[in-house]
């Protein structure tokens, strides 16, 4: 054991210390990979972790809650209170309000203690008071739905860092125009109350449409909604680690190649094979441990930035959440260490095994060895073809537990196939470019091309690593670009109205539908120049354990003016016509996919106090909501939820009417009400902005993967330079100017970048097909049209190429400064 | 009287390593004429390689001068030195030092390519023919025997018809027969191509082809023998 350590020190540690720059580049590459995984996981937790009602910090844990689609009738509080159980029933209204110069804030309406009851009294939390800089007695202006209203701060309560406003329930109902209705009833079991009996008693009393559930259910529901999103993000974050694995592989290979003579001597002196194996695995583990340790710290820092990015997506697509502080716990650290170390271990396995097989009398020179590697490229290419076919077959497998597991396996197989194809690409490209580069760059061109194909094993690994990063960038770019184009085209057909109206209260996140005052639709319909007004009711409903959006409009207007596109084979007009006066719905594609419903089927949706059977008349394309949409006719909605307020209006102008003039006229008529009137164009632009923001985190992850690959490129080019010191020195003897050596290394960098682009683009194209048609479809249910953003891709690839050449600058400088006399006799 | 092609004038070389200075050459003076072979002999560590590096303008004396056609190498700029190596000096090494990724022909052609010379391939083929390896033109170095590799290296050193040929133990790694072939080529490069040849060697057969033998001992010239 002691002797192994001794060997480890002289054979591994000392060279690592001598090559400090390369050692740190490798550690940094692993660290970045680990950091991204950690940051994504931490930020995901923080961005989605705060679904718990901040009210709990004030009133304590609720035992049960009663909810219903469309709200709970407050009359039930009295009926429940009459039950022979020891429990308290508290009504709660929860909404978002705009607050001057301070964004939005959660407003709770609760059954307040007497001293708070006041015609305009509000209680605010200390954190909010601090942020607004207000004290007791001051007034705060809140925009609730489409009305602004001032409230007097009657008290400030301490609720740690939660920000909210409390109103008396009656005042809240009045301010929101929601008489007789609350969002939920919270149940607090009294002392010695049998919990099961309480649950039974309540359930027996409540009508069929009402749901009695544990308060945690809400949070679970949210987590379930964002699960696919987070899963995809996490998988994406592992790509950097995969790129890092290539680098470890490369570093250990270099280490083995360099120490081959020593290994031979050691074996001849009686060192066991296992010693040699563990010597190099030990080196890899060292990288893994150091990289993970740095990665954890780095990840903690990156997470803070990522929370905002992930939060944007969650808010836009799923549910309003407020980021919680980033918290690093033991499990995360363990995840980091395990992922970093295991990646290092498995990446090093092949070269370490190769080291183990070095014979005690190692006779073969490097030239012959590399020649042997060259002979394998055809075989490797054949394997690449086989694995590609396997990937294609695997990609057809259905999702497992809602996760596109097969898609990811196919992705890994595709990456493996690309890695195996890398030697062929190196040979092919250097053969194709050889004559040209020799003609254009003379000796440097010849040497650069030959140098790369001669060190085939080495070059192929660098090309593979870079190509994987490029492929990831290209594939996600193609996926997002296609998605964006699909959305833009869809917005074009979807948004046909000229003007759109909604309340101005803030909080436009998913699942929030502030109400318009009842008189607004009439005011607008009577404005000259307005031909038709589509009155729309949006509300969040629970269906099948997750949330969805229920929308009700005038089916006839939608049919006449709108352009909903239905899935192939469905008759749009007939489907929309059939909604009128019947319990029929159309659902969006993601809803249909998530809940596995088909046209003609009936689903049971609780509405108010009833369970309503609704028949699916058709499925239409929609890209506005991942949670899914259910659309029915207004008449049907109002039959079951007569009080449901109008939330949005779509205005169609008479032919020839001036949109700007009509808009002004509407603003005048609706003066005093805080409504937003958006022209079609603005709404479309806004939708695209939201879309782009949603994918910001993806771009960030890609950036890191590319950075890791760049570190790898610099590292490998440097290794190639150091390994060929003797040759570079010899070239000086043969009359090469230092500038020629510099050019040669830069040319090599350029060629490596080109090879990586060729391979990366091919792999990226394959991965983008998997992303668009398998992973995205299985995760979210969206049908995306394939639209590669050619210009963007070309720009990104050129940038990567330029960066690869940039990564060659330092190695090139090292090459030009080699002292020929010192290196000429080295082997 | 014309200037000697290569002249060392009281050249000394002191290496500094780890704070210690080691004097590898001490006041060495001699000349090598065009078309002649001069052999450097002496025990291992006596300073032969050091001297060859000075003569080939790869390194510079700490004191004294190395003159090529009367011009001191110490006075030349980096680019002038590169030009000098490209156009006027050829090197042959004990361990051949062929580039494993290039074919035999490309190895020979390399100095011409680096210098950007025209018709480099034809010149390289001529040299290969001269060393008798035209049939190996497209072979890779690892496919050559030691003697063939060294002949390739000589072809490469003479590809650009240098005025000075520096050879460091060119037969040190070869058997007798191959060594003899190589020595013949070296002799020819002086006689036929007019190069001034300076060759370090341990073998008496090699030394025997030289018109002048210089024996070094601890960095000094111990004796000079003219044939
Ligand atoms: N770069 C260097 N730094 C320090 N000392 C050196 C250096 N190069 C050579 N020496 C020393 O200078 C002396 C002469 O070395 P040199 O290589 O010229 O000997 P040599 O005659 O060529 O020997 P051999 O026949 O073994 O090749 C030796 O003592 C050697 O240790
Ligand atoms: Mg020597």
| The predicted structure's pLDDT at residue A476 | 84
Tell whether ligand 1 has an atom less than 6 A from the beta carbon of residue B136: no
Q: Which domain covers residue A317, as residue numbers?
A: 1-56+222-364
Say if B201 falls within a structural domain.
Answer: yes
- The closest-lying atom of ligand 1 relative to the alpha carbon of residue B43 is 25
Is A737–B82 a contact, with Cβ atoms under 8 angstroms apart? yes
Q: How confident is the model at residue B89 (pLDDT cuts 50, 70, 90)?
A: very high
Measured in degrees and rounded to the nearest 5, phi and psi for residue A325 equal: -65, 150
Q: What is the pLDDT of residues A544-554, one digit of tens each?
A: 888 888 999 88
Residues A359 and A390 in one domain: no
In this complex, the residue of B79, B100, B114 whose CB is nearest that of residue A454 is B100
For residue B132, give the CATH number of its domain: 3.40.50.300
CA distance A593 to A628: 9
Count of beta carbons in the 10 Å neighbourhood of residue A234: 13
Tell whether ligand 1 has an atom less than 6 A from the beta carbon of residue B22: yes
Say if B202 falls within a structural domain.
Answer: yes
Q: How confident is the model at residue A52 (pLDDT cuts 50, 70, 90)?
A: low
- Which structure tokens are listed for B88? 């006027």
Q: Report the half-sphere exposure of B85 (CA within 13 A, side-chain side).
A: 28
Q: Which residue has the higher pLDDT, A375 or A63?
A: A63
Question: Which burial class, exposed, middle or buried, applies to A186 when counting CB atoms under 10 A from its CB (0-12, 13-18, 19+)?
Answer: buried
- Which structure tokens are listed for B227? 């044939």
Residues 72-101, chain B: which have Cβ within 8 Å of A? 78-79, 82, 85-87, 91, 93, 95, 97, 99-101
> Could you give the C-alpha distances from B44 to B37, B150, B218, in angstroms and in order?
21, 21, 10
Say if A85 falls within a structural domain.
Answer: yes
Give the minimum alpha-carbon distance from B91 to chain A in angstroms, rounded to a whole number: 7
Those residues whose C-beta lies under 8 Å from the C-beta of residue A623, and which sit 6 or more positions away, are: A483, A486, A487, A490, A782
Is the pLDDT assigned to residue A94 strictly greater than 80? yes
Q: How confident is the model at residue B190 (pLDDT cuts 50, 70, 90)?
A: very high
| The predicted structure's pLDDT at residue A214 | 84
Q: What is the pLDDT of residues B198-221, one digit of tens each?
A: 999 998 888 899 999 999 999 999
Mean pLDDT of B82-98: 91
Q: How many helical (H) and strand (E) elements, i.e. helices and strands, does chain A have?
A: 30, 18
Contacts of A456 in chain B (CB under 8 A): none
Contact of A318 with A225, CB cutoff 8 Å: yes
Is the pLDDT assigned to residue A457 strictly greater than 70? yes
Find tokens 């590799």 and name the residue. B149
Residues A241 and A298 in one domain: yes
Residues A569 and A456 in one domain: no
Say if B135 falls within a structural domain.
Answer: yes
CA distance A709 to A713: 6
Tell whether ligand 1 has an atom less than 6 A from the beta carbon of residue B95: no
3-state secondary structure of A292: helix
- Tell me which residue of B197, B141, B194, B201 sits closest to B174, measured CA to CA: B201
The full 3-state SS of A61-82, as one line of letters, equals CCCEEEEEEEEEECHHHHHHHC
Question: Which burial class, exposed, middle or buried, applies to A324 when counting CB atoms under 10 A from its CB (0-12, 13-18, 19+)?
Answer: middle
Those residues whose C-beta lies under 8 Å from the C-beta of residue A682, and which sit 6 or more positions away, are: none
ipTM for this model: 0.94
Residues A302 and A446 in one domain: no
Contacts of B116 in chain A (CB under 8 A): 442-443
Q: What is the pLDDT of residues A149-197, one digit of tens each?
A: 899 998 898 877 778 899 999 899 988 888 889 999 999 888 888 888 9
CA distance A176 to A183: 12
Residue nearest to atom 5 of ligand 1 (CA): B15
Is the pLDDT assigned to residue A371 strictly greater than 70? no
| The predicted structure's pLDDT at residue A374 | 63
What value, to the nearest 5°, has the Cα angle with vertex A638 and ends A632 and A640? Answer: 90
Q: What percent of chain A has pLDDT over 90?
A: 24
Is B100–A451 a contact, with Cβ atoms under 8 angstroms apart? no
Q: Which domain covers residue B220, as residue numbers?
A: 6-14+22-226
Is the pLDDT assigned to residue A537 strictly greater than 70? yes
Those residues whose C-beta lies under 8 Å from the C-beta of residue A652, and which sit 6 or more positions away, are: A496, A497, A498, A530, A531, A532, A533, A534, A557, A561
Q: What percent of chain B has pLDDT over 90?
A: 67
Tell whether ligand 1 has an atom less than 6 A from the beta carbon of residue B24: yes
Q: In which order are the strands placed within the sheet that holds B196-200?
A: B89-92, B164-168, B196-200, B37-41, B212-217, B220-226
Q: How confident is the model at residue A506 (pLDDT cuts 50, 70, 90)?
A: low
Ligand 1: residue of B23, B48, B59 to mutate (most ligand atoms within 8 A of CB) is B48
> Could you give the C-alpha distances from A375 to A246, A256, A758, in angstroms and in order?
22, 20, 22
Is the pLDDT assigned to residue A370 strictly greater than 60? no
Q: Which residue has the higher pLDDT, A56 or A814?
A: A814
Q: How confident is the model at residue A369 (pLDDT cuts 50, 70, 90)?
A: low
Residues A711 and A663 in one domain: no
Residue nearest to atom 2 of ligand 1 (CA): B15
* Final residue before a domain boundary, out of A197, A214, A231: A214
CA distance B205 to B174: 12
Give me the number of domains chain A comprises.
4
Find tokens 């390739």 and name the residue. B152
CA distance A458 to A370: 9
Residues A737 and A776 in one domain: yes
Say if B217 falls within a structural domain.
Answer: yes
Question: Which burial class, exposed, middle or buried, applies to B90 when counting CB atoms under 10 A from its CB (0-12, 13-18, 19+)?
Answer: buried
Residues A381 and A439 in one domain: yes
Ligand nearest to the CA of B22: 1
Is the pLDDT assigned to residue A827 strictly greater than 60? no
| The predicted structure's pLDDT at residue A367 | 52
Say if A688 falls within a structural domain.
Answer: no
The DSSP annotation for A35-59 comes to HHHHHHHHHHHHHHTT-S-TTHHHH
What value, to the nearest 5°, has the Cα angle with vertex A185 and ends A179 and A191? Answer: 140
Those residues whose C-beta lies under 8 Å from the C-beta of residue A249, and which sit 6 or more positions away, are: A347, A348, A350, A351, A461
Q: What is the pLDDT of residues A577-617, one digit of tens each?
A: 999 999 999 999 989 988 999 999 999 999 988 999 999 99
Rg of chain B over CA atoms, in angstroms?
17
| The predicted structure's pLDDT at residue A730 | 93
Is the pLDDT assigned to residue A320 strictly greater than 90? no
Residues A124 and A46 in one domain: no
> Could you give the C-alpha distances from A756 to A418, A463, A624, A751, A807, in angstroms and in order?
10, 5, 37, 8, 14
> Could you give the C-alpha distances from A11 to A143, A653, B6, in angstroms and in order?
71, 81, 45
CA distance A23 to A16: 6
Mean pLDDT of A719-748: 91
CA distance B139 to B116: 24
> Could you give the C-alpha distances from A443 to A728, A735, A745, A752, A805, in angstroms and in order?
13, 11, 12, 18, 19
- Tell me which residue of A447, A452, A413 sits closest to A429, measured CA to CA: A452
Question: Which burial class, exposed, middle or buried, applies to A81 when counting CB atoms under 10 A from its CB (0-12, 13-18, 19+)?
Answer: exposed
Q: How confident is the model at residue A363 (pLDDT cuts 50, 70, 90)?
A: very low
> Could you give the C-alpha distances from A389 to A157, A378, A397, A410, A689, in angstroms and in order?
64, 17, 14, 10, 39
Say if B1 falls within a structural domain.
Answer: no
* Final residue before a domain boundary, out of A364, A397, A416: A364
| The predicted structure's pLDDT at residue A826 | 63
Residues 133-152, chain B: which have Cβ within 8 Å of A? 140-142
* Final residue before a domain boundary, out of A364, A386, A418: A364
Q: Which of A44-53, A687-696, A758-767 has the lowest mean pLDDT?
A: A44-53
Residues A106 and A141 in one domain: yes
For CA atoms A264, A269, A273, A278, give the dihedral sign: negative
Say if A684 falls within a structural domain.
Answer: no
Ligand nearest to the CA of B93: 2
Residues A429 and A518 in one domain: no
Residues A204 and A234 in one domain: no
CA distance B73 to B77: 9
CA distance B165 to B144: 23
The residues pairing with A165 across neighbouring beta strands, listed in sequence order, are A107, A124
Q: To the nearest whole number, what is the mean pLDDT of chain A? A: 84
Tell whether ligand 1 has an atom less than 6 A from the beta carbon of residue B45: yes
3-state secondary structure of B68: strand
pTM for the model: 0.80
Residues A609 and A658 in one domain: yes
Give me the number of domains chain B comprises.
1
Q: What is the pLDDT of residues A628-667, one digit of tens each?
A: 899 999 999 999 999 899 998 989 899 988 888 999 999 8
- Which structure tokens are listed for A761? 């683009």
Contacts of B82 in chain A (CB under 8 A): 735-737
Is B93–A365 a contact, with Cβ atoms under 8 angstroms apart? no
Is A736–B114 a contact, with Cβ atoms under 8 angstroms apart? yes
For residue A206, give the CATH number of its domain: 2.40.70
Say if A270 falls within a structural domain.
Answer: yes
| The predicted structure's pLDDT at residue B226 | 86
């Amino acid at each position: 054991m002691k002797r192994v350590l001794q060997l480890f020190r002289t054979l591994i540690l000392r060279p690592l210390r001598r090559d400090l720059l390369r050692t740190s580049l490798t550690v940094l590459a692993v660290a970045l990979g680990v950091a991204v995984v950690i940051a994504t996981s931490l930020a995901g937790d923080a961005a989605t972790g705060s679904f718990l009602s901040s009210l709990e910090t004030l009133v304590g844990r609720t035992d049960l809650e009663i909810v219903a689609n469309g709200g709970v009738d407050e009359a039930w509080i009295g009926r429940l209170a009459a039950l022979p159980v020891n429990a308290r029933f508290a009504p709660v209204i929860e909404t978002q309000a705009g607050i001057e110069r301070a964004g939005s804030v959660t407003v709770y309406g609760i059954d307040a203690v007497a001293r708070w009851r006041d015609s305009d009294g509000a209680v605010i939390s200390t954190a909010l008071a601090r942020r607004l800089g207000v004290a007791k007695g001051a007034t705060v202006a809140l925009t609730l739905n489409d009305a602004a209203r001032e409230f007097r701060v009657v008290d400030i309560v301490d609720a740690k860092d939660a920000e909210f406003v409390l109103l008396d329930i009656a005042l809240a109902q009045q301010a929101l125009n929601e008489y007789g209705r609350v969002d939920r009833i919270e149940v607090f079991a009294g002392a010695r109350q049998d919990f099961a009996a309480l649950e039974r008693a309540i359930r027996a009393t409540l009508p069929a449409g009402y749901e009695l559930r544990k308060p945690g259910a809400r949070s679970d529901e949210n987590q379930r909604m964002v699960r696919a999103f987070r899963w995809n993000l996490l998988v994406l974050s592992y790509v950097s680690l995969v790129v890092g694995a290539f680098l470890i592989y490369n570093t250990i290979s270099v280490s083995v190649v360099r120490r081959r003579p020593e290994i031979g001597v050691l074996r001849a002196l009686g060192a066991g094979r296992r010693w040699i194996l563990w010597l190099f695995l030990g080196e890899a583990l060292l990288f893994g441990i150091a990289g993970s340790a740095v990665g954890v710290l780095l990840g903690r820092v990156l997470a803070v930035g990522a929370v905002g990015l992930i939060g944007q997506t969650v808010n836009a697509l799923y549910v309003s959440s407020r980021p919680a502080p980033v918290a690093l716990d033991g499990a995360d650290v363990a995840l980091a260490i395990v992922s970093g170390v295991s990646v290092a271990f498995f990446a090093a396995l092949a070269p370490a095994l190769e080291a183990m097989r070095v014979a005690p009398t190692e006779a073969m020179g490097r030239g012959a060895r590399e020649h042997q590697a060259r002979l394998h490229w055809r075989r490797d290419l054949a394997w690449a073809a086989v694995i590609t076919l396997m990937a294609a077959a695997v990609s057809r497998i259905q999702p497992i537990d809602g996760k596109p597991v097969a898609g990811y396996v196919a992705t890994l197989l595709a990456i493996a196939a690309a890695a195996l194809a890398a030697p062929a690409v190196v040979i092919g490209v250097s053969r194709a470019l050889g004559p040209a580069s020799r003609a254009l760059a003379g000796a440097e061109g010849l040497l650069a091309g030959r140098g790369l194909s001669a060190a085939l094993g080495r070059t192929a690994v660098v090309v593979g690593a870079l190509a994987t990063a490029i492929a990831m960038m290209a594939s996600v770019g193609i996926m997002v670009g296609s998605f964006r184009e699909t959305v833009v085209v869809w917005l074009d057909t979807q948004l046909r109205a000229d003007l759109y109206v909604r309340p101005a209260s803030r909080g436009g996140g998913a699942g929030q539908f502030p109400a318009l005052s009842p008189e607004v639709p009439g005011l607008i319909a009577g404005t000259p120049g307005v031909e038709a007004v589509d009155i729309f009711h949006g509300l969040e409903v629970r269906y099948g354990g997750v949330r969805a959006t229920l929308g009700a409009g005038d089916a006839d207007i939608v049919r006449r003016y709108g352009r909903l596109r239905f899935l192939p084979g469905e008759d749009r007009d007939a489907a929309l016509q059939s909604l009128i006066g019947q319990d029929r719905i159309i659902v969006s594609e993601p809803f249909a996919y998530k809940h596995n419903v088909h046209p003609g089927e009936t689903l049971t949706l609780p509405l108010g106090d009833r369970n309503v059977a609704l028949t699916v008349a058709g499925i239409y394309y929609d890209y506005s909501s991942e949670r899914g949409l259910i659309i029915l006719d207004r008449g049907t909605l109002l039959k079951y939820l007569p009080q449901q307020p109008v939330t949005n209006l779509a205005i169609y102008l008479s032919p020839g009417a001036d949109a700007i003039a009509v808009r002004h006229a509407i603003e005048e008529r609706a003066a005093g009400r805080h409504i937003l009137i958006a022209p079609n164009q603005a709404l479309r632009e806004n939708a695209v902005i939201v879309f782009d923001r949603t994918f910001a985190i993806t771009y960030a992850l890609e950036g890191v993967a590319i950075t890791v690959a760049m570190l790898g490129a610099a590292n490998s080019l440097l290794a190639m330079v150091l390994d060929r010191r003797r040759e570079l020195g010899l070239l000086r003897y043969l009359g090469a100017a230092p500038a020629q050596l510099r050019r040669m290394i830069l040319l090599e960098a350029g060629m490596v970048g080109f090879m990586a682009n060729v391979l990366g683009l091919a792999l990226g194209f394959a991965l983008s097909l998997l992303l668009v048609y398998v992973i995205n479809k299985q995760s979210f249910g969206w049908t995306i049209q394939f639209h590669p953003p050619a210009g963007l891709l070309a720009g990104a690839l050129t940038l990567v190429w330029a960066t690869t050449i940039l990564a060659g600058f330092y190695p090139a400088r090292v090459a030009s400064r080699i002292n020929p006399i010192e290196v000429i006799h080295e082997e | 009287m014309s200037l000697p092609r290569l002249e060392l004038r009281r050249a000394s070389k002191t290496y500094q390593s780890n704070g210690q200075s080691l004097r590898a050459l001490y006041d060495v003076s001699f000349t090598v004429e065009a078309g002649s072979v001069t052999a450097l002999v002496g025990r291992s560590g006596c300073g032969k390689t050091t001297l060859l590096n000075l003569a080939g303008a790869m390194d510079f004396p700490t004191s004294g001068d190395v003159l090529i056609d009367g011009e001191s190498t110490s006075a030349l700029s980096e680019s002038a030195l590169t030009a000098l190596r490209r156009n006027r000096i050829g090197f042959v090494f004990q361990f051949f030092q062929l580039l494993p990724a290039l074919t035999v022909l490309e190895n020979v052609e390399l100095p011409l390519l680096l210098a950007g010379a025209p018709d480099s391939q034809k010149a390289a083929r001529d040299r290969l023919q001269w060393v008798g390896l035209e049939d190996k033109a497209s072979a890779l170095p690892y496919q050559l025997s030691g003697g063939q590799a060294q002949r390739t290296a000589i072809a490469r050193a003479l590809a650009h018809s240098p005025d000075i040929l520096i050879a460091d133990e060119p037969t040190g790694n070869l058997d007798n027969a191959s060594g003899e072939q190589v020595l013949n080529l070296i002799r020819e490069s002086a006689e036929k191509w007019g190069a001034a040849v300076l060759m370090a060697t341990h073998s008496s057969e090699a030394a025997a082809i030289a018109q002048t033998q210089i024996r070094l001992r601890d960095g000094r010239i111990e004796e000079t023998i003219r044939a």
